[in-house]
Amino acid sequence: MLRTAVSTLALMMATVPAMAADWDEWSDADMSFRGSQWVEPKDWTELGDGTDSLGFEFGTRYWYSLGAHSSSVGGLDKTTEDAAHFVEGHLRIEDARTRTYAKGLAGYAMAVRGSYDTGLRTGETLDGQIGYIGADMGYMAFGSTEPTEGFGPLLGYLYWNDSPRTTREGYTTNTAVTDWSPDTGQWSLGFDSQDDNMDIHALRLGVQTRAKLGEMIDVTAELAAVPYAHVSGTLGSHSSNSGPASYPVCNVTPPDSCPTYSFQSSPTTFSGWGYGAMGELMVGLHPTENLTFRLGGRAWYLQGTHDATYTRLSVTPPQLQAQVPVYADDGVTIEGYRDPDPLYGAPSSGTEDFIQTSNPFSLMRYGLLAELTYRF
């Protein structure tokens, strides 16, 4: 047993110098071990090194935006002005081999303040819903020898919802008068309301340029035409003779007639198209190789026409019925009169659809843009 242990120990001691002699060669072998934790993730996969053609940028933006709406529906001119604070995320992927890029962005207004004039009343805009999400693809076809810089065309799409909250005009939810009293002639309708809402689906065709001014500064700019944008939504502030403030009782008897009242009985929806332009210009500062601060401005403009549709309910209220004669036993002689049963007749009502075509509108949003970007 002892002899076996001694033999094993001697063999191990003889092997160690051989391993030491081959250590340099063995340690230079291609071993796929991950580096220590301080190595950036991009270095684990060789992203961003000289053999990789892809470059990535991602970050956040702040957009202080001034907005202005203008529209006319049914002879009512409406204007809205606001200031909105946007938080935006963005991503850009570049391929140095093909000189192409793809980028995406999404933003939402965290606060909206302004004023409105609907043609019927004025007031303050205290909130609302404004946001956007879109993507572009481009080709740096001309200019710089740097593959991700230069000048070239872009093609993109933008979904944009621009809906500052203004007044909410009521509309009846009734298609007929169902709540009325045959004894008193009282009647009523149910009402609801909706906020303004404008959805925009815009096609973007344009150009972008990017250039370095030394090692620390760059300039980016883009200008895009919007040859077509589909617009649709709801006009919460549209109203045209929404009916009486109260529900009057009709106490005249036939053959006299009762007046007819008209109520809007649906929200006003619209659908149409527009065109315009979008642009931005930013100057960037590179405090490190991968970090960039940019500051500049952005402006979006759209105009066009839309058709507005809605429904109206016409109501003739319950009418007081004529008294009924009381006959004597002979069936001919009238001894007096009594109230009818029921006292009031049933109301009459009906709905009619309306469309108002070629209503003009315009929309602008512009302001200061600040960006913080990481690149690898």
pLDDT in tens, 147-177: 678 899 999 999 999 999 887 778 899 999 9
Identify which has the larger pLDDT, 312 or 8.
312
Q: Considering only CA atoms, which of 239, 365, 202, 235 is closest in space to residue 306?
A: 235
Q: What is the separation of C-alpha 43 from the centre of its chain, rounded to a whole number of angstroms?
A: 38
- Its CATH architecture, for the domain 59-375, is Beta Barrel (2.40)
Confirm if 101 and 65 have CB atoms less than 8 A apart: no
Q: Among all chains, which residue has been given the structure tokens 């047993």?
A: 1
For residue range 54-72, what is the model confidence (pLDDT) as tens digits? 889 999 999 999 999 999 8
Q: What pLDDT is stored for residue 331 in this prediction? A: 80
Confidence of residue 12 (pLDDT cuts 50, 70, 90): very low
Per-residue pLDDT averaged across 242-255, rounded? 81
Q: What pLDDT is stored for residue 237 in this prediction? A: 63
pLDDT, averaged across the chain: 85
Q: What pLDDT is stored for residue 242 in this prediction? A: 55
Asked if residue 39 has pLDDT above 90, the reply is no
Asked if residue 52 has pLDDT above 90, the reply is no
Asked if residue 364 has pLDDT above 60, the reply is yes
Amino acid in the structure at residue 9: L
Per-residue pLDDT averaged across 41-60, rounded? 67
Which residues are within 8 A (CB) of 15 and not within 5 positions of it... i.e. 6 or more apart? none
Per-residue pLDDT averaged across 138-150, rounded? 82
Per-residue pLDDT averaged across 21-33, rounded? 43
Per-residue pLDDT averaged across 176-180, rounded? 93
Asked if residue 321 has pLDDT above 60, the reply is yes
Confidence of residue 118 (pLDDT cuts 50, 70, 90): confident
Q: What pLDDT is stored for residue 9 in this prediction? A: 35
Distance CA 175, CA 243 (A): 14
Asked if residue 284 has pLDDT above 70, the reply is yes
The proportion of the chain whose per-residue pLDDT surpasses 70, expressed as a percent, equals 84
Per-residue pLDDT averaged across 289-300, rounded? 95
Asked if residue 345 has pLDDT above 80, the reply is yes
Task: List the domain boundaries for the chain.
Answer: 59-375
Tokens in use for 340? 């009818």
Asked if residue 295 has pLDDT above 70, the reply is yes
b/e 209-241 (16+ beta carbons within 10 angstroms → b): bbeeeeeeebbbbbebebeebebebbbbbbbbe
Averaging pLDDT over each range in 12-16, 234-238, 320-324, which range is the top one? Answer: 320-324
Q: What pLDDT is stored for residue 18 in this prediction? A: 42
Q: What pLDDT is stored for residue 329 in this prediction? A: 84
